[in-house]
Chains A and B, each alone.
Chain A
Amino acid sequence: MSGPTNQSILVVGGGMSGMTAAIEAAEAGYEVYLVEKNPYLGGRVAQLNLYFPKLCPPYCGLEINFRRIKQNPKIRVFTMAQVESITGEEGNFEVTVLLRPRYVNEKCTCCGKCAEATTLEIDNPFNYGMDRVKAAYLPHDMAFPMRYVIDPVLVQSSEAQKVKESCPYDAIDLSMEPKTITLSVGSIVWATGWNPYDAKKLDTYGFGVYPDVITNVMMERMAANNGPTQGKIVRPSTGQPPKNVAFIQCAGSRDENHLPFCSSICCLASMKQATYVRDQLPDSKVYIFYIDIRATDRYEDFYSKIKQDEGIVFFKGKVAKIFPSETSDQLILRVENTMTEELMEMPFDLVVLATGMEPSTARDLLPIPVAYDDYQFLPALTVQPGIYAAGCVRSPLNVAESVQDGTSAAIRAIKSIVGRR
């Protein structure tokens, strides 16, 4: 090996598993760089309303992690950052990271004057485009780092100067440019997570055509107090609460034409979301259309509890298609009850597609050639010597499993560089 081994660790992805890996490694005494694509940390977990099975808000756990990061001088966080290239080998990697401009510096106090000063709006990515935000925005109420972002659309517009002048703290810097930095690290944790499977590809379900067909991640935002409807579950077409809600399991999962694997969390997620509906709308009826319910070990207790509710019906059969009713404003689901062999056409106010997890590597590959499995996941904890996979980029996992996976990757990243000084 040429030269001394670098003793710092790069963690790519600031979601649950990446944050865990970074914190664990830093608290063990190692220098850590945490690189996150979004302007905030927390990843998909930050977008959840409640965790299953305890039905508690994820923010209490996230805030503990944010505090551990803030208190630990060994962690350096880069948001709006993406790894561009990796060279070198275990012990001595050179990594270039592209930092996109935020146009807001650390003087920001989140007073919101810049948002007031602009008329421009963009689709809100945090709420999956269900509402719009000002082009000068805080990514969400609890964002960490707590700092506004200015969209490039605004920077290039005629309002840019007005918005800059509106800031009483001189926190807006329109001259920021994208820049590339180079980091020298000894090992790397790759934890870039997952994307919800594109529901538009499920052509028989009409997502994007019928507004009342939404996905499970959208349901999380809708049920969240800081979401597009302030936590009210409504039909997007009318803004009224739905009388009945259908959850379609395996929407694109366990399907050779889409994602051939089981994402393992959607059954529990839909059961959890069924409680959102039932708690908020006691007169509502919820149907969960499933092929098999996969709620094993301690999650089976949750399943048993949900089944107690007479307002939640578990219906065995995969919905084949959705079409608008001719007599009402409802949507009709065509499905076979595979227990009774009856072919049904059932009307619903709101349909939630339980779409699965596509690994982020299905769209964005690592900058170096590595092996992927049949479904584009990284196939093992050790991607190659010195590079370790963690979280949903390796396998579909729930939050608790992602934390375990992050810890596991941290230990491997440490083992890779320890004693090589």
Chain B
Amino acid sequence: MSVKVDPNFMKELESFGLKDASKCFHCGNCTAICPLSEGKTPFPRKLVKYTQLGLKDKILRSPEPWLCYYCGTCSEKCPRGADPGETMMVMRRYLTSKYDWTGFSKRFYTSERFEIIAIVVVGLLVGIALLIFNTGKPDWEHARINSLWPKEKIEIADLIMAAVLSFLLLSNAYRCIKFIMGDLLGKIPFRYYKEQFRELIVHFLTQKQFSKCEDKKQWLIHLLIMTGYSTAFLLVVVFIRLFQRDHIEYELLHPIRLLGYYSTAALLYGCTYALIGRLNKSKPPYKNSHSTDWMFLILLELTTLTGIFIHFTRLLDWPFATYALYVIHLMVAVPMLVLEVPFAKWAHLAYRPIVIFLMKVRENYLRDQASESVESGEVQERAAT
């Protein structure tokens, strides 16, 4: 099989945030210090090598970028300041753009201008849509969002959005699976996937791989943002009928209300911590911030803050402020979902557990294959004697 080499690859990756990979002299310290790096899938040096050599095809087939949670130990201990952790981050951005068949993701990552315009356009469209499509009969006596935008209508819009996002994300995820598994995809019997399905869910919910890293705080922050986000997503997209209530009907300890508070607190703490960390460059994973990292955190933080404000204006029963904030809230939240979920950072929510799952499936399959071939070899030997 021929190996394609792209000598300009490092240049291309610069727009994805690549900076110091060329400094690497391949001592292997990063791979050996990494608590997640394992025998069959050693990283990150391998990916730094692929990057330096311009081996795009190999990168496309690599599961390793999704096995890294970016604790930053490799970068901290790198004798060359080559920042292998950041190279892995660049790989995730690059792969996200490669898995995306629409080509939108690539433009989003490689052009700050495109990124900002896309966010603004989607935000404005949402704003205009909310101004055009409403009942026209707002309740100016009491803050009742449903009087302008009934939850049933929002639910329909939500479901349409969810369907489009799911289609895009799943089709991209399928490409991810295809690239990584190659020919094996069709060969491995279904039961191997079934066996590991529980692990997929566990990984998704606990991010337990991350807890093996030295810096437990990063795992906590990651878990807070991820669970806060997922909870909020379920509340506003799937359970909007239960969530968008005009009166505070639920008592304080009602599950829906508790979930809302949990997700708000988790997102607020997680995002603020990450934002301050990135501003102060407090640890290796926060040292280099791509424009999409900022965009992601800022949109998420703004969504959370506007959500909190709405909660207060509703409690205070201020109709105008509530309606205005509701529009702003959606003008921030929707672009974050529409652009980040299938095309950018949120996509890793799907890719990472899927890849961990696939690696386990592949490992089990190959192990069984190996032991079978040993057994059949023994049988043949016996037959021969």
Contacts and interface: CB of A to CB of B under 8 A. Distances in A.
Given A342-B42, A343-B42, 5 more contacts: A204-B33, A258-B79, A317-B32, A334-B32, A335-B32
A356 to B, nearest CB: 12
Interface string B19-44: 00000011111111100011100100
A257 B31 contact: no
Nearest to B32: A320
Nearest to B42: A343
B173 to A, nearest CB: 27
A140 B31 CA distance: 44
Interface string B75-88: 00111110000000
Interface stretch (A117-125, A206-214, A248-256, A378-386): A248-256
A335 B28 contact: yes
A275 B322 CA distance: 81
11 contacts: A256-B80, A256-B81, A291-B25, A291-B26, A318-B32, A320-B28, A320-B32, A334-B32, A336-B28, A336-B29, A338-B45
A321 B33 contact: yes
Contacts of A35: none
B98 interface: no
Contacts of B46: 341
A204 B31 CA distance: 14
Interface residues of B, number: 20
A319 interface: yes
Given A341-B42, A341-B46, A343-B42, A336 B32 contact: yes
Interface in A282-323: 291-292, 316-321
Nearest to B46: A341
Given A204-B33, A336-B45, A343-B38, A255 B28 contact: no
Contacts of A337: 28
A334 B74 CA distance: 14
Interface of B: 25-33, 37-39, 42, 45-46, 77-81
Nearest to A335: B32
A157 B77 CA distance: 47
Contacts of B33: 204, 320-321, 334
A48 to B, nearest CB: 27
Contact of B79 (A318, A341, A342, A343): A318
B32 to A, nearest CB: 3
Nearest to B33: A320
Which of A257, A292, A336, A342 has the most chain B CB atoms closer than 10 A to its own CB? A336
B262 to A, nearest CB: 38
Interface residues of A, number: 23
A341 B30 CA distance: 12
Interface string A242-277: 000000001000111110000000000000000000
Given A342-B42, A343-B37, A336 B31 contact: yes
Contact of B26 (A258, A338, A343): A338
Contacts of B31: 320, 336, 343
- For B27, B42, B79, the residue with the greatest tally of chain A CB atoms inside 10 Å of its CB is B27
A319 B39 contact: no
Contacts of A342: 39, 42
Contacts of A338: 26-28, 45
Contacts of B80: 256
Contacts, number: 63
A321 B76 CA distance: 14
B205 to A, nearest CB: 28
Report, nearest first, the 7 A-B pairs whose CB atoms are least far apart: A320-B32, A336-B28, A255-B79, A318-B27, A320-B33, A336-B31, A317-B28
A281 B250 CA distance: 79
A250 B77 contact: no
Nearest to A259: B79
Nearest to A338: B28
A338 B44 CA distance: 12
B39 A343 contact: yes
A257 B76 CA distance: 9
Contacts of A320: 28-33, 77
Contacts of B32: 317-321, 334-336, 343
Given A204-B33, A318-B29, A334-B32, A250 B42 contact: no
A32 to B, nearest CB: 42
B67 to A, nearest CB: 13
Interface in A31-66: none
A388 to B, nearest CB: 33
Contacts of A319: 32
Contacts of B81: 256
Contacts of A335: 28, 32
A88 B93 CA distance: 63
B158 to A, nearest CB: 46
Contacts of A292: 25
Contacts of A343: 31-32, 37-39, 42
Contacts of B29: 318, 320, 336
A342 to B, nearest CB: 7
Nearest to A252: B79
A317 B79 CA distance: 13
Nearest to A253: B79
Contacts of A341: 42, 45-46
Nearest to B39: A343
A254 B46 CA distance: 21
Contacts of B26: 291, 338
B35 to A, nearest CB: 10
A336 B26 CA distance: 10
A291 B27 contact: yes
A291 B79 CA distance: 11
Interface string A321-353: 100000000000011111001110000000000
Contacts of A336: 28-29, 31-32, 42, 45
B33 to A, nearest CB: 4
Contacts of B25: 254, 291-292
B154 to A, nearest CB: 51
Contacts of A334: 32-33
A321 B37 CA distance: 13
A254 B28 CA distance: 14
Interface in A192-210: 204
A204 B77 contact: yes
B148 to A, nearest CB: 59
Contacts of A257: 77, 79
Contacts of A255: 79
Given A335-B32, A341-B46, A254 B79 contact: yes
A321 B30 CA distance: 11
A279 B264 CA distance: 69
B72 to A, nearest CB: 14
A207 to B, nearest CB: 16
Contacts of B39: 342-343
Nearest to B38: A343
Interface in A57-86: none
A254 B39 CA distance: 26
A341 B58 CA distance: 14
Nearest to A203: B77
B39 to A, nearest CB: 5
